Amino acid sequence: MTKPTANATPALAVDHTTAGLDNVVAAETVLSHVDGMAGRLILRGYDLDRLADWSFEAVLALLWRDLLPEALDESAIRVRLGAARQRAFSLLTPLLPSTDGLSSVEALRLLLSTLADSEPDAHHILAVAAVPVFAAAIARRRRGEAAVTPDARLGLAADFLHMLHGAEVDAGKVRALDTYLVTVADHGLNASTFTARVIASTKAGLFSSVIGGLCALKGPLHGGAPGPVLDMLDAIGDQSRIRPWLVDALGRGERLMGFGHRIYRVRDPRADVLKHAVATLRDGGGRIRFAEAVEVEALALLAEKKPLRPLQTNVEFYTALLLEAVGFPRDSFTNVFAAGRMAGWTAHVLEQEKTGRLIRPQSRYIGPQPDDAPVAAE
């Protein structure tokens, strides 16, 4: 006979004020600070706007400063990354066929997972170098094209585009991609960075930690979303349909892709930097001018419809335009995001490893107590 359950397990009542750890300080860092109320992103004392014309390698030197066993400046990092891209490429050929049938980000996850945490040294260099090599090869394989050997003499952004297109790329596009990689290099304790730090705190090793970061980035609520901005622009189609399309979408209660942010309440400083970078690119087919017109109309309609909720352009809007303009296919956008964010992940892992403290929070138990639990057949 089964004893009747006096107190069945209560319906799972998640407290939304704590479930997302909003406002919980879970780490101390010297790396970056997101000030949502002021619309500022600070990386080691520099506002993002001031870093916008730095190379990705210079920002790596900034983020890794004092965290590495040896001091590396921008040019040393550039040389080491070039050699590491060649090493990553040497591992690629037998592995690429096993990525068939996977999404681009799953393919990247698979390739990164072949790198051993017991690699003899300079994991952080190899981790940053491997992403553009793998991401470019994955994108080309999807088009039925062979992977292109890296050119170690180039900077990382230039070589990324060279490996993607199989040809030298114009300096304006290289500059724009460099700015993109810098812009997304680090962003406080976002979900993927937190994940990487938790794994690092168990001493699992650098590759395990950053692959965990990539797995968190893959989700549409984090890094898996810039494609939908382009889908929205495609669906609108032309200038004459901008306002009616947006009015209809808002009328159906839909969200306009590329607008709004959980933390930034005034402006997303990354959107400003990327908007400027996109404006320097040649406007093939008037796409950028069209997107700017969509932005103007969308901001006006959002302000009318949600006067109490500041909804500004977010980083994804201009990310989508920039990555499209420099030639990345839509399904590789998350991998390009990972190429930039690998700077932050590696720096946070190095920082976390220095503190040496296992991250082990508590949960609040809301299940039944032993006395209340149903007794199995007696």
Question: Site residues (CB under 6 A) for ligand ACO?
Answer: 225, 255-262, 302, 306, 309, 311, 314-316
Query: What are the C-alpha distances in Å from 162 to residues 91, 185, 247?
Result: 19, 21, 41
Q: Which two tokens stand for residue 242?
A: 């901008």
Write down the residue that tokens 């929205």 correspond to: 232
Amino acid present at 310: P
70 has catalytic annotation: no
- The residues facing 46 across adjacent strands are 43
- Taking the least distance from each CB to ligand ACO, the nearer of 48 and 129 is 48
- Taking the least distance from each CB to ligand ACO, the nearer of 126 and 301 is 301
Catalytic annotation, pick one of 123, 187, 261, 348: 261
Least Cα distance to 207 among 77, 73, 116, 340 occurs for 116
Query: What are the C-alpha distances in Å from 218 to residues 55, 211, 273, 337?
Result: 25, 11, 24, 10
Q: Which letter does DSSP use for residue 257 in this model?
A: T
Catalytic annotation, pick one of 297, 316, 324, 351: 316
Gyration radius of the chain over CA positions:
23
CB of 229 vs ligand ACO, minimal distance in Å: 7
CB of 338 vs ligand ACO, minimal distance in Å: 13
Phi and psi dihedrals of 32, rounded to 5? Answer: -155, 160
CB of 54 vs ligand ACO, minimal distance in Å: 21
- Taking the least distance from each CB to ligand ACO, the nearer of 160 and 333 is 333
- Taking the least distance from each CB to ligand ACO, the nearer of 126 and 229 is 229
CB of 209 vs ligand ACO, minimal distance in Å: 21
316 has catalytic annotation: yes
Active-site positions read: 261, 316
